[in-house]
Amino acid sequence: MALAVTASLVVAPAATAATPQCDTKPILTALEALKRVGAPGIAVTVKSPRCGVWNGGVGLADRRTGRKVVGNEHSRIGSDTKTWTATIVLQLVGEGKINLDDTVDHYLPGLIRTKLYDGRKITIRQLLQHTSGLPDYLDAPFWDNEEAHRWDHIEPLQTVKQALTLPPPDDRTPSGFAYANTNYNLAGLIVTKVTGRSIDTEIDQRIIKPLGLRETYWPGDQTTIAKPDLRSYVKRAKTLVDRTEWNTSEADASGELISTGADATAFWTALMTGQLLAPAQLAEMKQTILDDLGQDYGLGIEGYRLAPDLVAWGHSGSMAGGHTFRNAVTDDGQRAVTLLIDTDTFNSGEVESVIGNLIRDLR
């Protein structure tokens, strides 16, 4: 299948002789590399000081119709939602409504009391940093065939109860890290208990509306994605099949958001530049430990050491239907790369290399 490259560019006013010009060569180089990673289509958003915000992509947004990616497509962003959830929790910390070192039991008394797990010994900080010792609810037998529950409405409390029937994770690192979506669905329940409003309402009122993110929303039980959509594909019997329509209610605070590359980039830029968190809370978010990949993980945020003098942040995401999210933004928020990928079958290492090179070379 031929892959097409399409793009649009929003730049600053025309530069004077003394102003450095926008250089799109790193972007074009990245697009050429992304054609070869094995995904039918990738929406790309790039932000840099000289070029402003650039939206484009490679390949097809819809394999059936031949519609090309242009960069404004909506997509599920999966676990990148965790950073939005962590931001809400840390805002509440700044307001004195949540204490990171309070226990889960303090907010949800009696919910976690089993032979293996005790909410009186698990803190909010541990939830956000995946050091709670709780297992991932997706490891429950119920999810052995995720497609069997493709149309189901599932409450976050149900996912927590599924997790509590499982043994402790056997892949905890020396730092105590063991990634579990359960942690963030619990965090969402705590936000609801503290504020009286659901986590999606808090994200809408505290992040989406203040930042003017008109293309970002919480789908609830809606199985379709707003147009224009980036379709999503999974491999079945060596063939890519469309699995875009899906009820993702179970993902909740751990992964339910739908967004565009431009909106996700705007969120991450606002986060890094202190528009969403006070300095103390942003510093807490960036306090990292080593995760299971030997990389840095803070409170709902991944740290990328791209070079000795270059640190970037982001959070990857993926969904059972195939949508995949990758991003990186520099510590000062000046440079950012966001990729919305329409499948979970691609060369992940090459994608990471493209992002790293692009962040390094953007001007």
Which residues are the active-site residues? 79
Rounded distance between C-alpha atoms, residue 95 and residue 55, angstroms: 36
Long-range contacts of 162-165 (CB under 8 A, 24+ apart): 162/137, 163/134, 163/135, 163/136, 163/137, 163/139, 164/112, 164/114, 164/116, 164/117, 164/134, 165/140
Cα(first)–Cα(last) distance of the chain, in Å?
33
**178 contact partners, CB below 8 Å, separation of at least 6:** 130, 131, 133, 135, 169, 171, 172, 292
How many of the other CB atoms lie within 10 Å of CB of 145?
9
Rounded distance between C-alpha atoms, residue 199 and residue 218, angstroms: 10
* Residue 342 identity (one-letter amino acid): D
Q: In what helix (H) or strand (E) does residue 314 lie, and over which residues does it extend?
A: strand 310-314
Q: Contact at 8 Å (CB) between 71 and 6?
A: yes
C-alpha dist (Å) from residue 111 to 58, 116, 135, 161: 47, 13, 15, 9
> Per DSSP, which regions of 39-143 are E strands?
41-48, 52-62, 67-68, 75-76
55: its two tokens: 């939206």
Q: Contact at 8 Å (CB) between 179 and 291?
A: yes
How many of the other CB atoms lie within 10 Å of CB of 148?
10
